[in-house]
């Protein structure tokens, strides 16, 4: 009898465990997706949509096709012509890519990481039309010959043929754009940015959610890349639609430079008020009176790893602002605990979806990847934000550790169609990392060029 009772207890325990596992699985899949894989037959799939531009094209497979809906992925093929630049973009889902044909230079932006690459010589000494030569890392190794390629670098004119940017290889006014400016004096100006890598046929590379990525075709034939986006991945906290967030160019051209088509869908910058961007990109110094932002995550409060949540508390003093940023891996729910402030939010199409005054007791929902900026109105603005990831990460669009600091000047000038001198101002003007003053000198004409690019 004792053995029988023990057996019954053990059996009951196993049933409870199985029931819990099944319940968790059913809870993890939305009801509308539970029957996605009821497929009677499988077909060979072809690309269904092509978006062309002067610098190449992107071919998409229909992510709503039953077979792709079943596995929860989106697939695209990128064809970048010689000298073409795929402008910086990011996704809310993990992405894996394979180089089918050609060679190129690839850059990924890791928020918060230092710019480990620097020009080996001042920009005033570079030869016309050869912006990629002479770059070197911490060990003094130039870009040429790095990575798996070991190639000799491009001796041609890599920026020619890209719409308005192919004009004699990006030379500044008078041919000496950096001489005698700022702290560089007579030494000229040396650009700094995060690491770049050579890619060629057979290479595989991946991009994490929220990390910006750009590619330049440095070869003599079209650069062809097949990419898969895991839109069903738990790190994608939006819907099962592939969303591309463009940091330059416009949405319709798929992030390629050189398109002359005028489209309504633009990049993240275009959704912000021009004055707000001007204030974020100005020259200023750190002031402790700006306020503070503190976060709690699974490292500081271990139980958050179990519930997969985190929180951020912010206090802005009068006339202060949080630099433009976006959440890489989480949705954010912001609740105002005191004071008044202004919040602007921009979606993946570059549209301003929120620009309102917020006061105590009001709630703002900021989806993953949507860029936003917070300004204090009056004496103080206080808030608490809850984020749907135990280790939520952000990427700032301006500031000392921002995405702009990680990009080469050539990518910025070509992406926004501005001069190298203007690109330098945009990249290096802001010294803060998170908070800045809302008032200050404004570069209105330059900012208007950026938001309209």
Residue 31: what pLDDT?
53
Closest CA to 337 of 364, 319, 310, 297: 364
Q: Are residues 373 and 244 in the same domain?
A: no
Q: Which of 33-42, 219-228, 361-370, 407-416 reaches the highest mean pLDDT?
A: 219-228
Residue 221: what pLDDT?
95
Residue 124: what pLDDT?
45
Full domain range(s) for residue 304: 274-451
Residue 420: what pLDDT?
74
CA distance 272 to 326: 13
Q: Answer with the one of 201, 236, 266 that is the final residue of a domain.
A: 266
Q: Answer with the one of 266, 294, 312 that is the final residue of a domain.
A: 266
Residue 40 lies in a domain: no
Q: Are residues 241 and 285 in the same domain?
A: no
Statement: residue 116 has pLDDT above 90: no
Q: Are residues 232 and 280 in the same domain?
A: no
Mean pLDDT of 275-297: 61
CATH code assigned at 343:
2.60.120.10
Predicted confidence (pLDDT) per residue in 50-108, tens digit: 988 888 999 998 988 888 888 888 888 899 999 998 888 888 888 888 898 999 999 88
Residue 189: what pLDDT?
54
Number of domains in the chain: 2
CA distance 339 to 341: 7
Residue 23 lies in a domain: no
Residue 25 lies in a domain: no
Residue 78: what pLDDT?
93
Predicted confidence (pLDDT) per residue in 299-332, tens digit: 887 877 876 878 888 888 877 888 888 898 888 8
Higher-confidence residue of 445 and 163: namely 445
Residue 32 lies in a domain: no
Q: Answer with the one of 210, 242, 266 that is the final residue of a domain.
A: 266
Q: Are residues 251 and 280 in the same domain?
A: no
| Residue partners of 298: CB distance under 8 A and separation at least 6 | 304, 305, 310, 390, 391
Q: Are residues 261 and 284 in the same domain?
A: no
Q: Are residues 154 and 199 in the same domain?
A: yes
Residue 443: what pLDDT?
46
Q: Are residues 222 and 285 in the same domain?
A: no
Residue 17: what pLDDT?
45
Query: At 128, is the pLDDT very low, low, confident or very high (cuts 50, 70, 90)?
Result: very low
Q: Are residues 219 and 325 in the same domain?
A: no
Classified as helix, coil or strand, 419 is coil
User: Across the chain, what does the average pLDDT equal?
Assistant: 68
Q: Are residues 385 and 280 in the same domain?
A: yes
Of the listed ranges 2-6, 74-78, 385-389, the least confidently predicted one is 2-6
Mean pLDDT of 392-401: 75
Closest CA to 237 of 109, 365, 111: 365
Q: Are residues 211 and 330 in the same domain?
A: no
Residue 201: what pLDDT?
87
Percentage of the chain lying above the pLDDT 90 cut: 8
| Residue partners of 20: CB distance under 8 A and separation at least 6 | none
Judge contact between 345 and 333, C-beta under 8 A: no
Residue 211 lies in a domain: yes
Statement: residue 345 has pLDDT above 80: yes
Residue 10 lies in a domain: no
Q: How many residues does the chain have?
A: 453
Classified as helix, coil or strand, 339 is strand
Predicted confidence (pLDDT) per residue in 401-443, tens digit: 666 666 777 777 677 667 777 767 666 665 555 556 665 444 4
Q: Are residues 318 and 184 in the same domain?
A: no
Q: Are residues 166 and 197 in the same domain?
A: yes
Judge contact between 191 and 122, C-beta under 8 A: no
> Within a 10 A sphere around the Cβ of 124, how many other Cβ atoms?
19
Predicted confidence (pLDDT) per residue in 148-193, tens digit: 333 333 333 333 333 333 333 333 333 333 333 334 443 455 666 5
Residue 303 lies in a domain: yes
CA distance 453 to 451: 6
> What burial letters (b/e) apply to 235-246, b meaning 16+ CB within 10 Å?
bbbbebebbbbb
Higher-confidence residue of 155 and 238: namely 238
Statement: residue 25 has pLDDT above 70: no
Task: Provide the whole-model pTM.
Answer: 0.57
Residue 12 lies in a domain: no
Structure tokens at 34: 């539970």
Judge contact between 31 and 51, C-beta under 8 A: no
Q: Which of 24-28, 111-115, 430-434 reaches the highest mean pLDDT?
A: 111-115
Higher-confidence residue of 112 and 93: namely 93
Predicted confidence (pLDDT) per residue in 194-232, tens digit: 678 899 888 888 888 888 888 999 999 999 998 888 888
Percentage of the chain lying above the pLDDT 70 cut: 55
């Amino acid at each position: 009898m004792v053995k029988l009772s023990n057996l019954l207890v053990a059996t009951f325990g196993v049933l409870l465990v199985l029931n819990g596992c099944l319940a968790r699985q059913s809870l993890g899949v939305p009801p509308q997706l539970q029957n996605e894989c009821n497929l009677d037959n499988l077909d060979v799939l072809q690309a269904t949509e092509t978006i062309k531009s002067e610098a190449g094209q992107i071919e998409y497979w229909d992510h709503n096709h039953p077979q792709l809906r079943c596995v929860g992925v989106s697939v695209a093929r990128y064809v970048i012509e010689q000298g073409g630049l795929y402008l910086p973009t990011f996704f809310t889902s993990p992405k894996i890519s394979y180089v089918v044909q050609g060679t190129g230079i690839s850059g990924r932006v890791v928020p918060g990481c230092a710019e480990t690459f620097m020009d080996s010589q001042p920009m005033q000494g570079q030869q016309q039309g050869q912006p990629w030569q002479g770059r070197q890392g911490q060990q003094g190794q130039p870009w040429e010959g790095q990575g798996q390629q070991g190639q000799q670098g491009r001796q041609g004119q890599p920026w020619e043929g890209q719409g308005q940017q192919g004009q004699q290889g990006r030379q500044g006014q008078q041919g000496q754009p950096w001489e005698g400016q700022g702290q560089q004096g007579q030494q000229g100006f040396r650009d700094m940015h995060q690491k770049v890598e050579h890619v060629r046929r057979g290479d595989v590379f991946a991009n994490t959610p929220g990390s910006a990525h750009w590619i330049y075709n440095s070869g003599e034939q079209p650069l062809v890349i097949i990419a898969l986006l895991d839109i069903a991945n738990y790190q994608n906290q939006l819907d099962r639609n592939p969303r591309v967030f463009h940091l330059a160019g416009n949405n319709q051209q798929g992030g390629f430079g050189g398109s002359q088509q005028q489209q309504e869908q633009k990049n993240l910058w275009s959704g912000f008020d021009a004055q707000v961007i001007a204030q974020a990109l100005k020259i200023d110094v750190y002031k402790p009176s700006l306020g503070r932002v503190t976060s709690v995550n699974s490292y500081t409060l271990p139980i958050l790893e179990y519930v997969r949540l985190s929180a951020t508390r912010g206090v802005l003093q009068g006339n202060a602002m949080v630099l433009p940023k976006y959440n890489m891996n989480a949705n954010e729910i912001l609740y105002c605990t005191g004071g008044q402030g202004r919040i602007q939010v921009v979606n993946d199409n570059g549209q301003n979806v929120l620009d309102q005054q917020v006061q105590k007791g009001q709630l703002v929902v900021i989806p993953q990847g949507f860029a936003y900026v917070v300004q204090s109105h009056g004496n103080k603005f206080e808030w608490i934000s809850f984020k749907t990831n135990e280790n939520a990460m952000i990427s700032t669009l301006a500031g000392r550790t921002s995405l702009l600091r990680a990009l080469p000047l050539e990518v910025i000038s070509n992406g926004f169609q501005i001069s190298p001198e203007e690109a330098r101002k945009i990249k290096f003007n802001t010294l803060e990392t998170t908070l800045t003053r809302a008032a200050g000198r404004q570069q209105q004409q330059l900012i208007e060029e950026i938001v309209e690019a």
